[in-house]
Structure 1
Amino acid sequence: MNEEKLTRTSKKARLETRGKIITFICIAVMVIAAVSILYFVISKGLSTFFINKVSFWDFISGKDWNPTKTDAAGNALVGALPMIIGSFAVTLLAACISAPLAIGAAIFMVEISPRFGKKVLQPVIELLVGIPSVVYGFIGLSVIVPFIREHISGSGFGIAAATVVLTVMILPTVTSLSVDAIKAVPRHYREASLALGATRFQTIWRVVLRSSRAGILTAVVFGMARAFGEALAVQMVIGNSAVIPTSLFEPASTLTSILTMGMGNTVMGTLDNNILWSLAMVLLAMSLFFIIIIRFIGRRRKAK
């Protein structure tokens, strides 16, 4: 009996050791992959400033983008300000439009009509999440761009068209995360508010939304991170003109649209290629910034 117990114990110990080793290997592969990507992008992005001798300030604040040409002083025309402004413009506008819609849909699905929300709206949201970005871009190119051209002004391409496409794209994501945040509010909060004589609207506004504020903010920031990094759908409707737009209905560009258009047409090691890696480094920095905000909000929620 003792020998059987020892044998079973040793087998369990070996299985546990194997499990720990496999888990450690998987984690190590993920860490190595992440560090390698960061190192590759940062090293390539910094080559523009250390090897090609491009001023970082001229890169960030410059308004002219044409890496194949130089100005009168011999400096390369690699100003990324138009793309940075375009990226922030479409991201912030899409977030401002999608956030109220997503929060309203989440409140309806959880607080007002949970049965209808679970049977009808939830499958619709899951379907929208699964649609590829190229489909959104093609719909925007076929419907939104002609509508703006015929009924508003301009060629139809611009920040307005890209904002509409991104709003529809991130709306399901923000809605799903907002639903989870509202569902996480304890039931006794609602019952205590109603017992004190508050109406359902007052309970939703003053109790539910305030208690789920951190989760809803996380959902909005997560949607902004996805909108900031979207490439194909934006490229199809924004016009891809590397100029600072003076109107929402003028062609513009984003960091991702310039990257997807130019990366396959440059030679590795040249200024044209290195400057695109610098744009990718800026995009990576913004993505990390959004992740830091999400983690900060999450820590504040746990502290409360």
Structure 2
Amino acid sequence: MDKDNIQVHLMKSSKATREDYFGKTICYLCIGLITVLVGCILYFITSRGIATFTQNHVKLGQFLSGTNWNPGVLDSHGNPEVGALPMIVTSFGVTILAALVATPFAIGMAVFMTEISPKRGTKLLQSVTELLVGIPSVVYGFVGLSVIVPTVRHIFGGTGFGILSGTLVLFVIILPTVTSLSVDSLRAVPVHYRQASLALGATRWQTIRKVVLKTATPGILTAIIFGMARAFGEALAVQMVIGNAVLMPTSLVSPSSTLTSQLTTQIGNTVMGTMQNNALWSLALILLLMSLVFNLVVRVIGNWGKHKYES
């Protein structure tokens, strides 16, 4: 092979190089498609959500602080009754209560699976966790409607529908999420942390409480936030046990309605572009903004944990 042929051969791209370019092109196309898709979803929900304020001239303060929800009716001042405060309060109420109830159980299961009985605990509880994840939401709702609602009615009186029933259903739904992420956080704690603590004379419980859990705190907080995001966006199961009455909750056993339950029950009964439909899209916009807030909080906690480990 002469000198010119050698130079041409060296300048030609190899098969591996072409495959590398092809792989990068596919990846960039997929990333671009996902970016466009997410952008279209954000634009669609935002444009529909703000129509209540731009087209129907509803004031934002009235929408967020009003307590009467009946978009097809005008009040004494000629304004639509689109007060979303009862649904916002109920959504946050069931989400926070479900997280408070689920967190101790999730952390206890995670500690048992990673620190107390790693082999047997993981084998037993991981199967239970995976089973809970695979159960559809409608099944949780049906169980809540058949078991939890009658039990609450028998103990506390009333109809049995309300925040308490929704909290108990959401507790079971988010428990696998919080547990799985907490287990990953505890397993990420370096082994030499435990060994150093035990070598200094600490008991196993002191090591778990003061070393392992303290080190894994950012990851556990992230798990709780993900669980809250899951609870905040749950629709069908909550709809079946919450009562679906757009009323400001006065107790844990009074029927109420969440943002998601109102959307699922009413969105199919409205016509696109009407006041009733625009108001429901405004509720969807609130859900979207809350999802962004949850993701932002997760990132903040992640950065805090990263700086904590580095320091």
Deviation sequence 1:57-97 (CA, Å, 0-9, x none): 00000000001111111110000000000000000000000
Partner of 2:33: 29
Partner of 2:304: 300
Out of 122, 129, 144, which is 1:125 matched to? 129
Distance 1:242 1:5 in 2: 75
Change (3 A) 1:110 1:9: same
Q: Secondary structure at the match of 1:72?
A: coil
Counterparts of 1:165-244 in structure 2 under 5 Å?
165-244=169-248
Distance 2:90 2:123 in 1: 38
Matched, 1:20 2:24: yes
Distance 2:306 2:250 in 1: 43
Matched, 1:281 2:285: yes
Partner of 1:99: 103
Any runs of at least 4 consecutive aligned residues in structure 1 with deviations exceeding 2 A, and if so which?
A: 1-10
Cα RMSD, aligned residues only: 1.4
The TM-score with structure 2 as length reference comes to: 0.95
Matched, 1:262 2:253: no
Distance 1:6 1:90 in 2: 66
In the alignment, structure 2 segments of 5+ residues that lack a partner are none
The TM-score with structure 1 as length reference comes to: 0.97
Q: Secondary structure at the match of 1:29?
A: helix
In the alignment, structure 1 segments of 5+ residues that lack a partner are none
Q: Secondary structure at the match of 2:218?
A: helix
Deviation at 1:10, TM superposition (A): 2.3
Q: Across the two proteins, how many residue pairs are aligned to each other?
A: 304
Which shifted more, 7-16 or 260-269? 7-16
Distance 1:36 1:218 in 2: 28
Deviation at 1:151, TM superposition (A): 2.2
Distance 1:68 1:252 in 2: 20
Deviation at 1:13, TM superposition (A): 1.8
Distance 2:180 2:228 in 1: 14
Matched, 1:160 2:160: no
Out of 112, 117, 140, which is 2:116 matched to? 112
Letter in 2 for 1:120: L
